[in-house]
Structure formats: structure tokens, C-alpha cells
Amino acid sequence: MTTTDPAPYGIPLERERPFDPPAAVMALHREAPLRRLRYFPEGRLGWLVTSHALCRQVLADTRFRSRLAAPLQVPVPMGGLEAYGDFEGDLPVTPGMFIEMDGPAHSRLRRKLTGVFTVRRMRQLEPRIAEIVGARLDAIEAAGPPADLVAEFALPVPSLVICELLGVPYADRDRFTTDAATFMTMSSTAEEKALAQQNLFAFLAELVVAKQSAPTDDLLSDLAVDQELATDEVIGIAVLLLVAGHETTAKMIGLGTLALLENRDQWDLLREQPELIATGVEELLRYVGVIHTGIIRQADVDVELDGELIKAGEYVTVSVQTANRDEAHFADPDRFDVTNQTRGHLTFGHGVHQCLGQQLARVELRIALGRLIERFPELRLAVPASQVPLRTDQNFYGAAELPVAW
């Protein structure tokens, strides 16, 4: 069943329970898997897709563009949109940002990286990732309780891994983590986002130019000396990988740990049966829902979807969080069970734009959470769960801090 009755303005972000999608979003999903949505900032009508089947269909259909055209519409309140007010037609795309491209332009850049992020290559990285995780756990144990697991573990581990993979000095992390956070915060102004973006690109530009003249054994050097890539494309790719490579996985490690600590039977099950960690990670990816603002697409031509006509130019928001809780696809979807053989969650997207770094994220999550449980089997929250600060004001949902003791 579909409905053309528009949903309330935008998508609500505030959650009644930390791991469940907002009740208002789930209510919309259960009423109709496809409906009108009133977008910010101008109140134009687009569409909201909430069921697993329709979300997957939209993401797989290349008639829904990743590159967007003006006027820019978003499903949640967001600062900085005034910067796009003067554009007509296709919105500008930063060189190298292939997630905002379609067709041959997207394929040309993405294929430069597909060989790097294969399952085989990620398995080769496992020993080094294990060393990084072990060193962080050593430091936490040496400092003693309590500890902020976000600051001391969830953020440093993926940051170190992506820095080593790219060839970015980890000592310079303060030059990108703060700017990345500003850029990902939805309430940041156009000026703040522009400055953060400028700083990120200037930082990576220095590295790219240096590696062009003196390449080292890392991904950024490989891209920097590739004659088929322009320098500004390499810089854009580097910014994309650096920001996406630490921000999303950091959110998952923090929120995943909180979910396990709040579902102690599942923590204990992974402690007693560590071989379940792979299925446990997939279940966490489905259950905790860090992608809370949805994935935005735009119809390139008129498309009929579930009996409704999506007109060319209309925006469509794919609700990953409701798709991952769709009772038509997942048995008992609101139950968290690390023994579930979870199949088909959309946390990494679907189709040609499916997350390039998903195998790296899986390896990091398996090692980080598995070793954490092994090293600190009696880990517990140092504050009541209701006092753990959760961030809904960024593009990805997660814990701002995670105070723990043991």
C-alpha cells in the first residue's frame, strides 16, 4: 500500500530508545512503504521509501541519480543550504567525490579503488589491525578505569587504520578530525562547512603533492602517481576516504559496544563463543542503525514505483533504518540476536554505489569488538545508560562518549 498523504515535515531524528529508529518513522513505515515527504528547506514534496524491498529497488535502479540537481532538498534540517541557492540544473560536484557521480564518471574513479578493498586484501590487513587494536587496549588497561571508549578506542582505531592505508600521518589527526566533525554536523553554517572543507582539502593537497614527488608504499601514493587521475581528483578521493573511513566505523564501534553492554546476554554469548563475532557484527550493522538521515536519490526520468509515478527531478529518501527493521524481510526485526544469520541489511547501501569500504569496516568491527570482549570480559557502563550522550545532530548517529569501567 502506498499513500500520497505527505509525511510531517522532514524525518524525525530523536529516538525514544537508543537503538530503535524513531517511533514516528516506524509508524510511517507501517502505514505505507512509499509516501510523500515534505523536504527542507522550501517544503517541496518528494518521496520517502521505507520498506526493505522498495529501498533495495530504488538503490539498484540507475534511473535514480546520486548526483543531485537544484534546488537542493534534504529530509532533515541542515545548515549551509543557502550556499546552493544560486545554482540551476545539476549541482556542482567536487572532483574525486565519486559517490556524488553516476555512470561512466562514477565508474572511472571507483574502479581505481575496487582492487584495494577486496576481501582478500582486507584479510591481509588483519594482523596490522589486530596490532592497532591491541595497542589501544593496552593503553586503556594501563590508564585504568574509568575510560571514555569513544575517545580512547572507537575513534582512534579506524583513524589509525585509514591513516596507515592512505599514508596520512596519524600525528596530524587533529588537522582532519575536527574539520570532519564540523562538516558532518548538520547544524554547521555554510561558512563553517566551507572553512572545514577548505582545511581538509588543503591538508590532503599538501600530502598529495609531496607523494607525487616522493611516493611511498601507500594508497595515496599509488593514486598520486596515476597518470589517469588529475591532482584535484586524487585530493577529492583522499578526502572522501579519510572522512568516511574513520567516521562511520567509529560510530559503529561505539554504538555497537553500547548495544552489547545493554544486552548483556549477547555480550556473554560472544565472550563464550567468539566464533560468533562475524554474525554478531552483521546483526549489529542491521540493528543499531547509524544511517539515520537516509540516502538521497533523485529521479532522472519519470519512474513508476509501487504503483506511484515518481516524476523526473523529484527527490527520494531511502530510509535505511526502517528497511533494516522491516518485518516483511527480517524475522522478529526488533530483537537483537548475535546468532542471527542476518542477510540483506542495507547499512552499506545497495547497487553500484554500495559502500566501497564495507569489507574493511567488517574486519575492523570484528577485531575491535572481539578483542575488547576478550580483554575486558567484565566491562560495564560507568554511568546509567540514560546518561550516555547520543548524537543525532550529525550525518551518522552514534555515542558522543561512552564511559566504561571494569
pLDDT tens-place string over residues 179-238: 988 988 998 998 999 999 999 999 999 999 999 999 999 999 999 999 999 999 999 999
Instruction: Flag whether pLDDT at 132 surpasses 90.
Output: yes
338-342, 393-397, 400-404: which has the highest mean pLDDT?
400-404
Region 104-116: mean pLDDT is 94
C-alpha to C-alpha distance for 200 and 177, rounded to whole angstroms: 9
pTM attached to this predicted model? 0.95
Residue 2 pLDDT grade (very low, low, confident, very high; cuts 50, 70, 90): low
> What's the total number of domains in the chain?
1
Domain holding 18, by residue range, is: 2-405
Residue 152, pLDDT > 90, answer: yes
The pLDDT of residue 280: 97
Write down the mean pLDDT value for the chain.
Answer: 94
Residue 165, all three cell numbers: 592505508
Q: What CATH code is carried by the domain that includes residue 316?
A: 1.10.630.10
Average pLDDT over every residue of 65-78: 94
Residue 40 has pLDDT above 60, yes or no: yes
CA 149 distance to own-chain centroid? 19
- The percentage of the chain sitting over the pLDDT mark of 90, rounded to a whole number, equals 83
| Whole-number Å distance between alpha carbons of 207 and 224 | 9
By CB atoms closer than 10 A (0-12, 13-18, 19+), residue 335 is: exposed
Mean pLDDT of 29-50: 94
**Cα–Cα dist 326/279, whole Å:** 19
Give residue 313's region: left, alpha or beta (phi > 0; psi -120 to 50): left
C-alpha cell at position 114: 575496487
**Weakest-pLDDT range from 5-14, 84-93, 246-255:** 5-14
Q: Note the pLDDT tens digit of each residue in 168-178.
A: 998 888 888 88
**The pLDDT value given to residue 343:** 85
300-320: average pLDDT: 97
pLDDT of res. 397: 95
Band (83; pLDDT cuts 50, 70, 90): confident
pLDDT at position 4:
57
Alpha carbon distance 274, 28 (integer Å): 38
Q: What percent of the chain is modeled with pLDDT above 70?
A: 98
d(CA 359, CA 338): 19
pLDDT at site 7: 62
Tell whether the model's pLDDT for residue 5 goes beyond 80: no
Start-to-end C-alpha separation, the chain: 50
Residue 49, phi then psi, degrees to nearest 5: -115, 125
pLDDT at 1 over 60: no
CA atoms of 119 and 404, how far apart (whole Å): 33
| Per-residue confidence (pLDDT) for residue 79, from 0 to 100 | 86
DSSP assignments along 271-299, one per residue: HH-GGGHHHHHHHHHHHS----S-EEEEE
Q: What's the mean pLDDT in 326-335?
A: 96
Q: Which residues contact 283 (CB under 8 A, 6 or more apart)?
A: 336, 337, 338, 340, 342
At residue 268, the pLDDT reads: 98
